[in-house]
Amino acid sequence: MSSTSKTTSTSSITLRETPSKTRNTTPTKSTTSSPIPLLFTLPTELLDLIYEFTFSDFTVHIGARFCNYGQDRFGYAGWKAVTLHGNPNTGIIATCKQMRAETQRLYYERGVFSFEDAKACDTWLLRSVPPEMYSAIRVLRVPTPWCEDMFEDLEKKRFTYEGSCVARLINDRALYTLREARAEIGQEILGRLSGGVLRAKAVDRMFGVVWTSMPWELGFCMEVSSRA
C-alpha cells in the first residue's frame, strides 16, 4: 500500500507541473505588432483632403486655472491652460503618435486660439505648446477688457462724433491690452512667434470690429506714436 500511495503522489505532482511549463512557452500578446490603422492606408492625396477638411475654420477658446499641488499632470502647483470650447473634429490629433506627427503643425497653422486674458495666453504657450510649434501659430486673440458694452454702444453711434470717441477709447484699450500681453508672454517666446500673431479686438475706420496686432493704424488710436 505504501508503494501505491507513493506512485499516486508522484504522478499527481507531475500533472500539476505540466500546465505551468506549457504556459511559459506560449508567446504573449505584447510581442505581436499592432495593425496599421485603416486611415493611414489611404492614398496620400485623399489623406491630405481629410486633414484639410478637419482643420478648416475652427476656433479654440482657452482659459487658465490655478492647480494646487498634485492636481495637474506635472504634479506641482501652478497655472495650467484649460480648453473651454473647441471643434470636436480636432480631437483626431490625439488618437495616436503617428496622427499627431502628421497633423500637429496643421492644427496650429489653421486654428484661431482665443483666450480669456493675457495670463491664459502665456500659460498655454508656456505649458501646452511644443516650442517647435511656435512658428506654426498664426492667430492668438486676447480680449480687450471692459469694452463689450462699448462695442454694443458703438452700433448705435456709427459715423458720429460720439461714436468716434468710443472707437478711440476702444482702440487705446486694445493697444494697452497688447502691451500687457507682450509683457506677460516675454521676449523669449515672442521672438519665436511670427509677426502679427498676437491680436486684440478693435475698431476700423468704417466702425467695423476687427482683430488686429496694430490698432494704431486704424485711425482712432490716440497713442499713434506709442506702439505695442
pLDDT in tens, 199-226: 999 999 999 999 999 998 887 866 544 4
CB burial of residue 190 (10 Å; 0-12, 13-18, 19+) = middle
Task: Name the more confident of 161 and 27.
Answer: 161
Q: Where are the domains of the chain?
A: 2-217
pLDDT score of 167: 92
207-227 burial, b at 16+ Cβ within 10 Å, e below that, comes to beeebbbbbbebebbeeeeee
Predicted pLDDT at 83: 76
Asked whether 201 and 141 are in contact (CB, 8 A), the reply is yes
> For 98-157, how does the pLDDT look when each residue is reduced to its tens digit (9 = 90+)?
888 888 899 999 999 999 999 999 999 998 999 999 999 999 999 988 888 898 888 888
Q: Confidence band (pLDDT; 50, 70, 90) for 70?
A: low
Q: Which helix (H) or strand (E) holds 97?
A: helix 97-110
Q: Whole-angstrom Cα distance, residue 39 to residue 102? A: 12
Q: Are strands 139-142 and 198-203 parallel, antiparallel or unpaired?
A: parallel
pTM value is 0.73
Residue 8: count of CB within 10 angstroms of its CB: 10
Distance CA 169, CA 221 (A): 7
